[in-house]
Amino acid sequence: MSDIIKHECGIAMLRLLKPLEYYQKKYGTCFYGLNKMYLLMEKQHNRGQDGVGLANIKLDVEAGKRYISRKRSVSANPIQDVFRQASRRFIELENKNPEKLKDPIWMKDNLPFTGELFLGHLRYGTFGENTIEQCHPFLRQSNWRTRSLVLAGNFNMTNVDELFEQLVDIGQYPKQKTDTVTILEKIGHFLDEANDEIYYKHKQNFTKKEITKVIEKELNIQEILIQSAKHWDGGYVMCGLLGHGDSFALRDPNAIRPAYYYKDEELVVVASERPVIQTAFNCKLKDIYEIKRGHALIIKKDGTVIEKEVRKPLERKSCSFERIYFSRGNDIDIYNERLELGRRVFPKVLKSIEYDVKNTVFSYIPNTAEVSYFGILKGCHKYLNEVKTRKIKELGNNPNHKEIEEILKISPRAEKIAVKDAKMRTFITSDESRDDLVAHVYDVTYGTVRESDNLVMIDDSIVRGTTLKKSIIKILDRLSPKKIIIVSSAPQIRYPDCYGIDMAKMGDFIAFNAAIELLKDNNKQNIIKETYNKCKKQSNLPKEEMINYVKNIYKPFSPEEISIKISKLLTPKDTKAKVEIIYQSIEDLHISCPNHKGDWYFTGDYPTPGGTKVVNTAFINYIEGNNKRAY
């Protein structure tokens, strides 16, 4: 993606089902769990580089000894820093008494991060401060293990204000008005109630010490989550560890956020991405499962694993942006989907170059668009095969060998054109000086493009278009092509996201700005005013009754008309080449990613009522000049 946007976080949860001595004997290390967590998190570093956290719980530790360990970091290399902190005592022991490192019982009794339950989190801060206090996992500690809760998640809630007020109404005083703290206290409240219910049910039959064991067995995690999540509006995968050893991973009812798990006789693992599990545990694709929408994967202390419904499953709206950009491309399904995105946009490219493949160079804007670029090349090869077949047939029954040879040489000109350099920094504050350096963030391969050539560059998506205008198009124009064609493998991004992607302001979207300009060009400013009035009028309605009137801004124009306007807006002054920007169609997106129909940022069709409220607020903010987030 040429525009850098922050987005969804990553989670990794691991439960070791065997005694620690088992892993020492089979794998030769007491750090089997810790090592696997490092691998799971390092392989998901694409999902969070602002902060990292790791928590561990030991089962059946005697009173008086710590059983919860946690480290968090917001350093420049947070994964390495967290595991460096977690390993500090082990390194000290290796220098003083290395034999102890081979004794899992002693290790568990004496050192942190040697327990059976792990929870890791990688954070992309979509808004707010980037301090260690914002890093998951969060702790809600108690002297009763069955009341202690460790929580981390990949989520955004659209109705934090509503959930916060519910906590206040039951007499709580939450320390922060954030979705993480609100969710932590919400689950914590019903966890406390469940503990109390079991305690009073059995207090006549057991001592207080004995009741603790009864509570551990009888805690109904499903019911706690049902009560907690009843009013949540958002996209989420919520992972939790309870102090005594139960754990869970809960997915939203539309399956907006991704969650996969694998189980064998040794362990249960949950992660945000499927190939991460395949790599870490060398397991087969068929043995990895998605957590069903609205369900929680519940792992009891005794090792029982079961998937239970928590929210009624709604229409599947899993995020298509995951497939286009966010997730690692080595998932076989994502790889094929990105290839198809490239293949399906190629006919538009062919039309734009007026079928002149001979004088066209194909490339991509690093690096996430690479697979879609291969898809464009596959589409081009298919087209050229048809051309070559026709030309050979035209040679007749006695073709000349040299003529056939020349026809077979026809192929797309695929080159590595754009190279992204390290971040450019300037100590001069003037806009002119800063823009000049920003223009050189990308460099190009000189001598690969002729003045008679079209230059086709595919990007996975275009949000703001800032980098295109200030850097990429300027540097590509130095190659002197006759035409620069920027291809987005995603459709036009028209609406804000509120489920974990940092796209919350209408004015940030180049597609929205293009539509506004078109309305002005065509003397249809009344549509802007009418849309504002409708949004303002419904701003105090319950979110369930709201309508996305912002769609009216785009309604008068075809996607092609908006693309033409975007091309004009993003063409830098003094650009010699003609510039055209091409977008994927919604229809071809759905064909390419048939099982992932979450497309609200393209269509405005939000899967939850909170989404409609967010776009309503975002448009009002834009018209009123409030440069703030809509949620």
Stated as kind and residue range, the H or E segment containing 79 is helix 78-96
Bin 276: left if φ > 0, else alpha if -120 < ψ < 50, else beta. Answer: alpha
Residue 1 lies in a domain: no
Q: Are residues 620 and 474 in the same domain?
A: yes
Digit-coded pLDDT (tens) for 157-187: 888 888 878 877 777 777 666 778 889 889 9
Residue 217 lies in a domain: no
How far is it, in rounded angstroms, from Cα 603 to Cα 494?
Answer: 7
Judged on CB neighbours under 10 Å (0-12, 13-18, 19+), 175 is exposed
Residues 6+ apart with CB under 8 A from 395: 403, 404
Judged on CB neighbours under 10 Å (0-12, 13-18, 19+), 85 is middle
Q: Assess whether pLDDT exceeds 50 at residue 433.
A: no
Res. 426 pLDDT band, cuts 50 70 90: very low
Residue 208 lies in a domain: no
Contact 272, 47 (CB under 8 A): yes
Q: Are residues 385 and 453 in the same domain?
A: yes
The predicted model gives 364-376 an average pLDDT of: 92
Digit-coded pLDDT (tens) for 273-288: 999 999 999 999 999 9
Q: From 288, 316, 344, give the residue that closes a domain.
A: 316
Q: Assess whether pLDDT exceeds 70 at residue 435.
A: no
Res. 569 pLDDT band, cuts 50 70 90: very high
Number of domains, the chain: 2
Residue 178 lies in a domain: no
Digit-coded pLDDT (tens) for 449-487: 999 999 999 999 999 999 999 999 999 999 999 999 999
Q: Are residues 267 and 360 in the same domain?
A: no
Least confident of 36-45, 146-155, 175-184, 359-368: 175-184
pLDDT of 166 reads 81
Q: Assess whether pLDDT exceeds 50 at residue 431.
A: no
For the chain, the distance separating the N- and C-terminal CA atoms, rounded to the nearest angstrom, is 24
Picking from 150, 176, 156, 155, the residue whose alpha carbon sits closest to that of residue 164 is: 176
Give the rounded distance of the alpha carbon of 259 from its chain centre: 11
The residue behind tokens 């207090």 is 203
CATH number of the domain bearing residue 306:
3.60.20.10
Contact 14, 33 (CB under 8 A): yes
How far is it, in rounded angstroms, from Cα 408 to Cα 115?
Answer: 63
Q: Which two tokens stand for residue 102?
A: 């081979």
pLDDT of 50 reads 86
Q: Are residues 281 and 335 in the same domain?
A: no
Residue ranges of E strands in 112-187: 117-123, 138-140, 149-157
Contact 484, 578 (CB under 8 A): yes
Q: Which two tokens stand for residue 78?
A: 């947070």
Q: Assess whether pLDDT exceeds 70 at residue 411.
A: yes
Q: Assess whether pLDDT exceeds 90 at residue 614.
A: yes
pLDDT of 127 reads 54
247-251 and 234-242 strand pairing: antiparallel
Residue 188 lies in a domain: no
pLDDT of 160 reads 82
413-414 and 360-364 strand pairing: parallel
More reliable by pLDDT, 165 or 233 = 233
Residue 82 lies in a domain: yes
Q: Are residues 260 and 370 in the same domain?
A: no
Q: Are residues 127 and 251 in the same domain?
A: yes
CA distances from 610 to 313, 390, 606 (A): 17, 55, 8
Q: Assess whether pLDDT exceeds 90 at residue 8.
A: no
Res. 125 pLDDT band, cuts 50 70 90: low
Residues in the chain: 631
The predicted model gives 406-422 an average pLDDT of: 88
Q: Are residues 297 and 367 in the same domain?
A: no
Res. 440 pLDDT band, cuts 50 70 90: low
Q: Are residues 358 and 495 in the same domain?
A: yes
Residue 167 lies in a domain: no
Res. 423 pLDDT band, cuts 50 70 90: low
Give the rounded distance of the alpha carbon of 84 from its chain centre: 26
Rg of the Cα trace of the chain?
28
Q: Assess whether pLDDT exceeds 80 at residue 428.
A: no
Digit-coded pLDDT (tens) for 295-340: 999 999 999 999 999 999 999 999 999 999 888 889 999 999 999 9
Residues 6+ apart with CB under 8 A from 30: 20, 23, 24, 101, 102, 103, 104, 107, 114
Q: Are residues 240 and 364 in the same domain?
A: no
Q: Which two tokens stand for residue 223?
A: 């019911």
The predicted model gives 243-270 an average pLDDT of: 98
Contact 587, 340 (CB under 8 A): no
Contact 123, 136 (CB under 8 A): yes
Q: Are residues 548 and 597 in the same domain?
A: yes
Q: Domain range holding 350?
A: 331-624
CA distances from 238 to 183, 204, 334 (A): 9, 36, 23
Q: Which amino acid is at 498?
A: C
Give the rounded distance of the alpha carbon of 509 from its chain centre: 19
Res. 439 pLDDT band, cuts 50 70 90: low
Q: Assess whether pLDDT exceeds 70 at residue 398.
A: yes
Average model confidence (pLDDT) for the chain? 92
Residue 574 lies in a domain: yes
Q: From 316, 339, 360, give the residue that closes a domain.
A: 316
CATH number of the domain bearing residue 510:
3.40.50.2020
How far is it, in rounded angstroms, from Cα 8 to Cα 190?
Answer: 27
How far is it, in rounded angstroms, from Cα 467 to Cα 471?
Answer: 5
Q: Which amino acid is at 464?
A: R
More reliable by pLDDT, 483 or 368 = 483
The residue behind tokens 């497309």 is 599
More reliable by pLDDT, 597 or 4 = 597
Q: Assess whether pLDDT exceeds 70 at residue 436.
A: no
Contact 278, 287 (CB under 8 A): no
Q: From 316, 342, 358, give the residue that closes a domain.
A: 316
SS3 626: coil
Digit-coded pLDDT (tens) for 521-537: 999 999 999 999 999 99
Q: Are residues 393 and 504 in the same domain?
A: yes
Q: Are residues 289 and 353 in the same domain?
A: no
* DSSP string for residues in 404-435: HHHHHT---EE---EEE-SPP--S--SHHHHH
